[in-house]
Structure 1
Amino acid sequence: MSTGHVLLGLLSRGQQHGYDLKRAHDDRFPAAKPMAYGQVYASLERLHRQGFVEPVAVQRVDGPDRTVYAITATGRAELTDWIETVETPFVHVANPLATKVTVALLVTDTAYATTCLERQRASHLDAMRRYTRAKTDPSLPIHEVLAADYAIAHLDADLQWMESALQRVAALGEAIAT
């Protein structure tokens, strides 16, 4: 995810200052890591240098001055290009679970690696249950339902991988031992 593109998307709804953009990001993308204020302002400065946003006003609201930004026509074109660009699947996928299992096998034995995988599986199942309960709440906004669906799909893929890994741990342990 490009922070700049997310900010352009939020600005496409209307003029805002950094504080409002941070809050809007955290509200609209509840499954994402909260955005730091410094990240917002650094991204806005970069977007301004690129001609994608422009300052349109300065407001004083119980504190320091706040610069209000608007998306430019160039920024809208950039946002459209980004949205319409098909994401290429990653060739190298970082998998911290696979790394942990391999290290667990290096450190001890297959029983330990198996126990670690089983604990991880239980944690994933708990998270999957929480997301499933949350997304069935009729008052949940659609962007949170979409985020829950995405999380569930990824948790399910991890669980499938864990099942496969549990079946392969003994063979992997033997390969590492040699």
Structure 2
Amino acid sequence: MSTPQILLALLAERPKHGYELKREHDDRLPGAKPLPYGQVYSTLQRLERDGYVTVAGVDREGGPDRTMYELTPEGAERMRAWLAGTEPPAPFVTGALFARALMTLAVGDDPRAGLERQRAAHLERMRELTRAKTASGASAAEVLAAEYALLHLDADLRWMELATRRLADLTRRSADESPA
């Protein structure tokens, strides 16, 4: 996820301060990892340094001073270019599930029991997401986030089923090839 571009997009509407940007990030990207405040402020400092945002003023209402940031024309151009772009497909397999299964094989164990436990965890999470997306009052963003996660979990489940079959075939072949 590209935090700088997301913050630029959130600033497209109007000037905002860091606390508001953090809250909007977390609200508008349901299911995403919450953005730490420190990351918001350090990203805003870099965006200001690079000329993509500028200080629009300081809000002094009811509490500590809050610096308001707004997009510069360069920031708007960068944000639009990001929105118009595409994400390259991941060139490497980096999932923890994949790594755990292969490392279980590497140490000489059979990963099928672990895959079965993971399958149960995936199915439970899929039930939770299905309930969330069909809940009364679920926003469009919440429904889309749930469906995105459901499809990824489904792909994981299909891979786990394939891996379990392949492991069973390999185990059977090894047994057939072993001298009696």
Map of 1:34 onto structure 2: 34
| Number of matched pairs | 172
- The percent of aligned pairs where both chains have the same amino acid is 49
Taking the aligned partners of 2:146 and 2:4, their CA distance within structure 1 comes to: 23
Taking the aligned partners of 1:98 and 1:115, their CA distance within structure 2 comes to: 14
Map of 1:158 onto structure 2: 156
Taking the aligned partners of 1:146 and 1:127, their CA distance within structure 2 comes to: 16
Map of 1:132 onto structure 2: 130
What displacement does 1:107 show?
Answer: 3.3
What displacement does 1:84 show?
Answer: 0.6
Map of 2:58 onto structure 1: 58
Map of 1:73 onto structure 2: 73
Taking the aligned partners of 1:95 and 1:16, their CA distance within structure 2 comes to: 35
Q: TM-score, normalised by structure 1?
A: 0.90
Map of 2:98 onto structure 1: 98
Map of 1:141 onto structure 2: 139
SS of the residue corresponding to residue 124 of structure 2 reads helix
Taking the aligned partners of 2:91 and 2:36, their CA distance within structure 1 comes to: 30
- When residues 172 and 77 of structure 1 are mapped into structure 2, their CA distance, relative to the original with a 3 A threshold, is farther
Taking the aligned partners of 2:153 and 2:26, their CA distance within structure 1 comes to: 22
What displacement does 1:63 show?
Answer: 4.3
Q: TM-score, normalised by structure 2?
A: 0.89
User: Any stretches of 5+ residues in structure 2 without a counterpart?
Assistant: 175-180
Question: Do structure 1's residue 18 and structure 2's residue 13 form an aligned pair?
Answer: no
What displacement does 1:62 show?
Answer: 4.8
Map of 2:87 onto structure 1: 87
Q: Which amino acid aligns with 2:130?
A: T
Q: Which moved more, 1:89-98 or 1:76-85?
A: 89-98
What displacement does 1:91 show?
Answer: 1.6
SS of the residue corresponding to residue 70 of structure 1 reads strand
RMSD: 1.8
Map of 2:178 onto structure 1: none
Taking the aligned partners of 2:109 and 2:80, their CA distance within structure 1 comes to: 51
What displacement does 1:93 show?
Answer: 2.4
SS of the residue corresponding to residue 13 of structure 1 reads coil
Q: Which moved more, 1:22-31 or 1:99-108?
A: 99-108
Taking the aligned partners of 1:99 and 1:169, their CA distance within structure 2 comes to: 15
What displacement does 1:64 show?
Answer: 3.3
Deviations 1:106-149 (A, max 9, x none): 33532xx1111000001001111111111112411111111111
Q: Which moved more, 1:13-22 or 1:164-173?
A: 164-173
Map of 1:120 onto structure 2: 118
Taking the aligned partners of 2:157 and 2:17, their CA distance within structure 1 comes to: 41
Taking the aligned partners of 1:60 and 1:107, their CA distance within structure 2 comes to: 60
Q: Which amino acid aligns with 1:26?
A: D
Structure 1 stretches of 4+ moved >3 Å: 61-64
